[in-house]
Amino acid sequence: MGERLYKTHCSNCHLDGGEGVGLLVPPLAGSDYLAGNRDRLVCMVRHGFHDTIVVNAKTYSEQMVGNDKLSDIQIVNVVNYVLQSWGNNIPPLTFEVAQKSLEQCDR
């Protein structure tokens, strides 16, 4: 389910292989940012991201649009797909942890 959701909602920007687009869209594949921000990812998917980040020693400042139409379980599935794909081996989020993070999201 996570792969299908990723391809529908995320791959237009991050591409099918999670490689991102130059200095516009950060890579998800082999991303050092993911492990350190694992619990924040659900909020980024739901509400977007409007800040500058550094991923694999490169700076990105383009805004990411959120998707408030995805259910909590769909967000968990897409985030866990990203955490376990393209060479990433980051422990998945449980639904309970993700729900707590979503409740505490900064808007």
For the segment 42-67, the average pLDDT, to the nearest whole number, is 94
Q: Given pLDDT bands bounded at 50, 70 and 90, which one contains residue 54?
A: very high
Tell me the domains of the chain and their CATH numbers. Answer: 2-103 (1.10.760.10)
pLDDT tens figures, 81-107: 999 999 999 999 999 999 999 998 854
Mean of pLDDT over the chain = 93
Mapped onto helix, strand or coil, the DSSP state of residue 32 is helix
Give the span between the Cα atoms of 67 and 63, in whole angstroms. 13
For the segment 27-52, the average pLDDT, to the nearest whole number, is 93
For the segment 28-50, the average pLDDT, to the nearest whole number, is 93
Mapped onto helix, strand or coil, the DSSP state of residue 21 is strand
